[in-house]
Amino acid sequence: AQKVTQAQTEISVVEKEDVTLDCVYETRDTTYYLFWYKQPPSGELVFLIRRNSFDEQNEISGRYSWNFQKSTSSFNFTITASQVVDSAVYFCALIDDNLFFGTGTRLTVIP
């Protein structure tokens, strides 16, 4: 069964637009952890954020913000005022017993 679903395969936005990347997860555990990773064109995986299942407080870090809602099993990621350097593939991930990745969303920011 798919543990992490990122329904948006590719998104293109014009620079300075806001963009939200969706992530829906599935787990039977009451304790679990969610992550977002960025994969720029160079290929490495860059950790962005983790959130545990007990903490539904939204988080903002600069232009990045995350909206965690247990009621809808979603952990969405918003980039405000997007920049060309934000162009990458973004992966949502879940840890219950193991670390499971979503299929990724390729974001292209057009100058």
In the complex, which residues of this chain contact other proteins (CB under 8 A)? 31, 33, 35, 37, 43-45, 47, 50, 52, 91, 93, 95, 97-104
Tell the smallest beta-carbon distance from residue 81 to other proteins (Å): 26
Which CB, 58 or 83, lies closer to other proteins? Answer: 58
- What are the respective helix, strand and coil percentages of the chain, to the nearest 5? 5, 50, 40
Tell the smallest beta-carbon distance from residue 24 to other proteins (Å): 15
Tell the smallest beta-carbon distance from residue 98 to other proteins (Å): 5
Q: How far is 59 from 36, CA to CA, in rounded Å? A: 13
Three-class secondary structure of residue 72 per DSSP = helix
Q: How far is 82 from 98, CA to CA, in rounded Å? A: 32
Which CB, 33 or 64, lies closer to other proteins? Answer: 33
Which CB, 81 or 99, lies closer to other proteins? Answer: 99
Say how many C-beta atoms besides its own lie within 10 A of residue 108's C-beta: 13
Which CB, 16 or 50, lies closer to other proteins? Answer: 50
Q: Are the beta carbons of 36 and 30 closer than 8 angstroms?
A: no
